[in-house]
Structure 1
Amino acid sequence: MAAVSALPTVVTTRIGGIIDTPRKKPRQVRSRETVDAVLEAAAQLFEREGLDTTTNRIAERSGFSIGTLYQYFPNKWALLYGLAEHHIEKAHERLGGVLIQLREQEPDWDDTVRELAAASVDLHRHRPRLHALMYHYAPRAPEGIARLDTLHETLVSEVTGHLVRCDRGGDDPARTAAMLVHAADAQLHRVLLGRGDDAEALTWSLLAMTPR
């Protein structure tokens, strides 16, 4: 019996259109510098023009030809995906550092929430329009979803530990932690982007949600 070839992974935007992810990852220093320049140009134009921007304008802004851009990114959705992946990497690094600090210092619950809220808001403070676009329209690929799920699972596990340590979280601290992490994610992307009082607002919202 002939082997059945694996079906290609279907990658879509959040509005349902099938798209492509980046074609290849840069290996050499020069290639990484090229990709970084293209992504920075894309970030600037997505922030300024939203989804109306084009790959031609992004290539022009980056200083590279459209052919060079297409070596790595087949369309603007792939660029948005690349920016979202970069954001997730930064979130892992920044929040990971905060989690280490919280384990070492063991502050009370209010200060624990305040530190996590401040770091989360800081990750989204620059270019709020771009963050909104990434949240709503960035392509969904299995590897990207897995990285985001890993980040959420790490946060839930760590927050559960702090709830238990601080004698908070009610009868089911793990469920409370999951609700807090996902509520923070939703509030950051759907309510607080671009507002000046976002860190304090997020802190008080999460504290109000935490049972004794």
Structure 2
Amino acid sequence: MPLHTEPRQRRHPKQLRSRLMVETIVEAAGQVFTESDFETASTNQIAERAGISIGSLYQYFPNKDALILAVQRQHHDEVLNVVRTAMERSQELPLQDAIREIIGANLDMHLKQRRLHAAIEAWIPANSKLVDRAGFQEEMASTVMTFLSQRSDVPQGAHLQTAVFVIMNMVKSVMHAAVQDCNSVPDRDQIVDRLTVGILGCLAEQTGERR
């Protein structure tokens, strides 16, 4: 059943060797959750994939719930890194091409690990306080706002903050929907095309009065 109480990580490593072990365990957990259903995956499988004893794993993580939370936190970091890297690559591109580059990179990352992302969405409720989703959203919004504010081909003004809000939620909804059904294969290019059109519409300068 989905998580409702916090399965705390037992130890927070301070030494480099311990930090590397935790990173290895979390990486192994992500791989196992990607290949297997979360419910049937075991901590023994994860320990074996990480190349450590089950006792060493339990020194840091008491159960699978603690591990999937750690994987979710790592996922947030990966999404931010992918988006920022794509923004850096596309700084000199025309706006439409830049948006396609960023959306495409984000979607590709999600589609590559659809089973893992679907497990995260299924097992960590949207209203859960176990993961700092609000903090992630704020950091992503700031990243998007900074990127758009620095472009001369994006109309600047008070509407931009609202545009970023709509863009963020539109992209999030589509990304989550794309990974929900692991048995279907969405048309990657069509998704990127339609999201690009939607984002360009959000960024267009609003003129005239509403009727």
> One fold, TM greater than 0.5?
yes
Partner residue, 1:96: 84
Q: TM-score, normalised by structure 1?
A: 0.75
Offset from partner CA, 1:64-95 (integer Å, 9 cap, x none): 22221111111111111111111222222232
Letter in 1 for 2:165: A
Equivalent residue in structure 2 for 1:61, among 49, 56, 71: 49
Equivalent residue in structure 1 for 2:68, among 77, 80, 84: 80
How many Å separate the matches in 2 of 1:168 and 1:50? Answer: 46
| Unmatched 5+ stretches in structure 1 | 1-12
Superposition misfits of 4+ residues, deviation over 6 angstroms: none
Partner residue, 2:178: 191
- Kept in 1, the 8 Å contact 2:43–2:54? The answer is yes
Q: Deviation of residue 120 (structure 1)?
A: 0.8
- Kept in 2, the 8 Å contact 1:117–1:199? The answer is no
How many Å separate the matches in 2 of 1:200 and 1:117? Answer: 12
| Unmatched 5+ stretches in structure 2 | 205-211
Aligned pairs for 1:22-37 within 5 A: 22-37=9-24
RMSD, aligned α-carbons:
3.1
SS at 1:92 equivalent: helix
- Percent of paired sites with the same residue: 25
Offset from partner CA, 1:147-174 (integer Å, 9 cap, x none): 41233322441365378733499x8332
How many Å separate the matches in 2 of 1:56 and 1:202? Answer: 39
- Kept in 1, the 8 Å contact 2:118–2:179? The answer is no
Aligned residue pairs total: 196
How many Å separate the matches in 2 of 1:159 and 1:200? Answer: 24
- Kept in 2, the 8 Å contact 1:187–1:202? The answer is no
Partner residue, 2:116: 130
Equivalent residue in structure 1 for 2:192, among 179, 202, 210: 202
Q: TM-score, normalised by structure 2?
A: 0.75
- Kept in 2, the 8 Å contact 1:109–1:162? The answer is no
Partner residue, 2:166: 179
